[in-house]
Copies of this chain bind each other. A is one copy, B any other.
Amino acid sequence: MISKTLTAASTKPIILGILKQGSSYGYLIIKKIKELSGGKMQYSDGMLYPVLHKMEKDGWIESSWSLKNETRPRKYYEITTLGKEALHQEQSQWAQVNSVLNQIWEPKTEIQ
């Protein structure tokens, strides 16, 4: 299982990345993340939905209730222009942090 802090740090970039590939809804996003991580990352609904609300409030994503003749109502989310910008920023920040970690970890002093 992935640590709490690392999960927290990756939630928004993961959601943005998923939504960039096409609109989706909360329940499906949870399943998608579980699948992509091989079960290592599992969000409860109580964890994910408030994040979606926050992201919508911040203008990163937009929602609409599906009118399509689906079996049940679903709240579909789409990424906004602002959300795409946020995603780029996230990607850049992850690259920077990974660079720092690699600098420290790389001289794999695994001599022992």
Contacts and interface: CB of A to CB of B under 8 A. Distances in A.
Contact of A8 (B9, B12, B33, B90): B9
Given A105-B91, A109-B21, A100 B9 contact: no
B14 A100 contact: yes
A26 interface: no
A72 to B, nearest CB: 26
For the complex formed by this chain, how many copies does it contain in all?
Answer: 2
B9 A101 contact: no
A40 interface: yes
A107 B109 CA distance: 34
B21 A97 contact: no
A36 B103 contact: yes
